[in-house]
A and B are shown apart, each in its own frame.
Chain A
Amino acid sequence: MKILVPIKRVVDHNVKVRIKSDGSGVDFNNVKMSINPFDEIAIEEAVRLKEAGIATEVIAVSCGAKVCQETLRTALAVGADRAIQVDTDAELEPLAVAKTLKEIVKREAPQLVICGKQAIDDDCNQTGQMLSALLGWSQGTFASELKVDGNELAVTREIDGGLETIALGLPAVVSCDLRLNQPRYASLPNIMKAKRKPLEVIEISELNVNITPRIKAIKYTLPASRSAGVMVDDVAELLSKLREEARVL
């Protein structure tokens, strides 16, 4: 079974983002970029399925400018077999990414797509569901456990009230929650080996997808900051403040 893993290069999760002074966007100058943490989990899961003898090939794909190749190399160092960069300078909305991925799925014919449940920059949580809809495949979103048995998948999903397990037929799209696994670190020898693994570049224009933006960003603002609070000395003072000042008790 072939597995396709879409990955995204995002601002590192430890960075506190700054907004440009004119409000037109987020300032990316000198900001550390990394692989989206949820995508790291997706790639780890695909590699584990390969190690278990279930998957035959793991392909990582990323849509974006040439710098995405660094992120793809990270995926290759963790164990993906080869990578595809869909080259574009345009900022892609989830719908455009899903349409692009659909074309890659048509070319590569994987039986399973494993993606992260959301990117930590746009916080959309849409691409996997959209891809699954466009392909007419089943979806198993927010997966915290994945079992493959022949042509059937058992996906345990994290839902608001707890967990639920659904059975899906292949082909399918699965989106990962944080608890699916603990991603491994790439070892130095594997990072070196990853440099020799194949990385194909496809111009987005070759795929004939409509990536025209449907959403216009008007401005970015900082959320209202909370006014500085007070430190209290003991529990009695805390309770009296909550009762008399904040009136929440």
Chain B
Amino acid sequence: MAILVLAEHDNASLKLDTAKVVACGQAIGGDIDVLVVGQNCGAVASEAQKLSGVRNVLVADSASYANHLAENVSDLMLAIAADYEHVLAAASSFGKDVLPRVAALLDVSQLSEVIEVVSSDTFVRPVYAGNALATVQSLDDKKVMTVRSSAFDAVAFDGSAELVTLSQDIAPQVEFVTQSLTESERPELGSASVVVSGGRALGNSENFAILEQLADKLGGALGASRAAVDAGFVPNDLQVGQTGKIVAPDLYIAVGISGAIQHLAGMKDSKVIVAINKDPEAPIFQVADYGLEADLFDAVPQLLEQL
């Protein structure tokens, strides 16, 4: 019984998500191989070799994989899937794009956003925006699943896996045009230990600057509610919630966010939640460990001063 983990990377460095998916693999039990697909991704492969408890790191290095397009990556995974009982990837935009294709090509169902391993065929996953947890058993001979990385602790980087080079090359089906990534000096939203999030009450994008200062002072990442994103205050990749990113930091500070079901779905597993809102009836106070009923334009500058 072996487990294949699809690595998440940008051709230059391995994302920490991969180490968390490997932890899920360890909870299932069995030999774990990590697949690195990309172009000029040698550095990523050597980083992956250090992942604790990994048997082999399989590398497919080719121009066809430069931009990690789902069509090309899933064809490659199909070609090597025969040797594995479990196929895992992080429930990131990349994993969600690729894995359902792999599952369909293998004619098996896929499990999304697994948060707990009960046994090698039984898993727990949230449904209805995290308002219910479903324990499900996969009846397929292969279990293809995406893993919610915030639910697992990353494994250590103390291993020394074998490097195996794959020679399969697939003719590209899709053309890649451009990519525009949001530039940020801050830690990545999905893996930050502190997240400061703002909502509609910020009023405009200039006012988000005070939250940026707060995030920087705490060494945290900046997040936002859908209302703030839709109003154009911040780019959409900062959105926390059912349709945005799922985060579980040590400290989540919700500023001017009412706390709709869809937003709570993305942050209610945070260790400590702080809410700052001037509406005492806001639903966010029902999940907050510490609530402060105050105008954010008074409270946030005071926080900055006293920190």
A244 to B71, CA, bound (A): 51
Q: Is the CB of B237 within 8 A of A138?
A: no
A217, B136: Cβ atoms under 8 Å? yes
B18 interface hit (Cβ, 8 Å): no
CB of A188 within 8 Å of the partner chain: no
- Most chain B C-beta atoms within 10 Å of own C-beta, residue among A11, A95, A118: A95
Interface segment out of the listed B38-46, B153-161, B169-177: B169-177
B303 close to A167 (CB less than 8 A):
no
Once bound together, how far apart are the Cα atoms of A166 and B113, in whole Å?
Answer: 25
What is the CA–CA distance of A118 and B103 in the complex, to the nearest angstrom?
A: 16
Q: Is the CB of B261 within 8 A of A16?
A: yes
Cross-chain contact of B306 among A164, A228, A239 (Cβ < 8 A): A239
A133, B98: Cα distance in complex, Å:
10
Contact partner, B132, options A117, A169, A223, A232, Cβ 8 Å: A223
Q: CB-defined interface of B92-134 with A at 8 Å, one 1/0 digit per residue? A: 1110111111111101111111000000001000111111111
**Counting CB contacts under 8 A, is A52 at the interface?**
no
In the complex, chain B residues 236-272 whose Cβ is within 8 Å of any chain A Cβ: 236-237, 242-243, 245, 250-251, 261-262, 268, 271-272
A contacts, CB < 8 Å to B: 11, 13-14, 16-17, 19, 26, 93-95, 98, 117-118, 120-134, 138-139, 141-142, 144, 154, 157-169, 177-179, 213-223, 226, 228-232, 234-236, 238-239, 241-242, 246, 248-249
A85 to B181: give the CA distance in the assembly, Å. 41
Stretch at the interface among B25-33, B81-89, B200-208, B291-299: B291-299
A179: chain B residues at CB < 8 Å are: 229-230, 236
Interface centre among B111, B176, B177, B251 (most CB of A within 10 A): B177
Residue from the list B101, B178, B250, B285 in contact with A231, Cβ < 8 A: B285
Range for the number of chain B residues in contact with chain A: 35 or more
Contact A238 B226 (CB under 8 A): no
Which listed residue (A122, A138, A214, A241) contacts B127, Cβ 8 A? A122
Given A142-B93, A215-B137: A229 touches B273 (CB 8 Å cut-off)? yes
B128 CB contacts on chain A under 8 angstroms: 11, 17, 26, 120-121, 123
Decide if A121 touches B127 in the complex (CB within 8 Å): yes
Q: Is B274 an interface residue (CB 8 A)?
A: yes
Who on chain B is nearest to A237 by CB? B292
Min CB distance B128 to A, Å, is 5
Nearest first, the 3 closest Cβ-Cβ pairs linking A and B are A129-B100, A130-B104, A126-B100
Greatest chain B CB density within 10 A among A13, A123, A157 is at A123
Q: How far is the CA of A177 from the CA of B239 in the complex (A)?
A: 12
Asked if B113 and A217 make an inter-chain contact with CB atoms under 8 angstroms apart, the answer reads: no
Q: Which residue of B lies closest to A10 (CB)?
A: B128
* Interface contact B100-A94, CB-CB below 8 Å: yes
A/B interface sample: 25 pairs, CB < 8 A: A17-B131, A19-B132, A120-B129, A121-B127, A123-B127, A126-B103, A129-B104, A130-B101, A130-B103, A142-B96, A142-B97, A159-B237, A162-B180, A166-B69, A166-B175, A179-B236, A217-B135, A220-B134, A222-B131, A223-B126, A229-B288, A230-B290, A230-B291, A246-B289, A249-B307
A161/B136 contact (C-beta < 8 A), A231-B293, A235-B299 known: no
With both beta carbons as reference points, the residue of chain B lying nearest to A233 in the complex is identified as B292
Complexed CA–CA distance, A11 and B213 (Å) = 40
Choose among B131, B179, B262, B293 the residue that contacts A162 (Cβ–Cβ < 8 A).
Answer: B179
Residues of A within 8 A of B130 (CB): 223
For residue B302, which residues in chain A have a CB less than 8 angstroms away from its CB?
A: 234-235
Alpha-carbon distance A130/B96, docked complex (angstroms): 11
Partner of A159 from B94, B101, B286 at Cβ < 8 Å: B94
Which residues of the partner chain B approach A139 to less than 8 Å between Cβ atoms? 70-71, 97, 101
Whether B167 is near chain A, meaning CB under 8 Å from some CB there, is no
B299, A164: Cβ atoms closer than 8 Å:
no
* With contact pairs A94-B110, A98-B104 given, residues A123 and B288 touching in the complex (Cβ less than 8 Å): no
- Beyond A230-B291, A238-B290, A248-B272, whether A215 also contacts B138 by CB under 8 A is yes
Contacts of A163 in B (CB 8 A): 179-181, 237
**How near does chain B come to A237, taking the closest CB pair, in angstroms?**
8
> What's the minimum C-beta distance from A211 to chain B, rounded to whole angstroms?
11
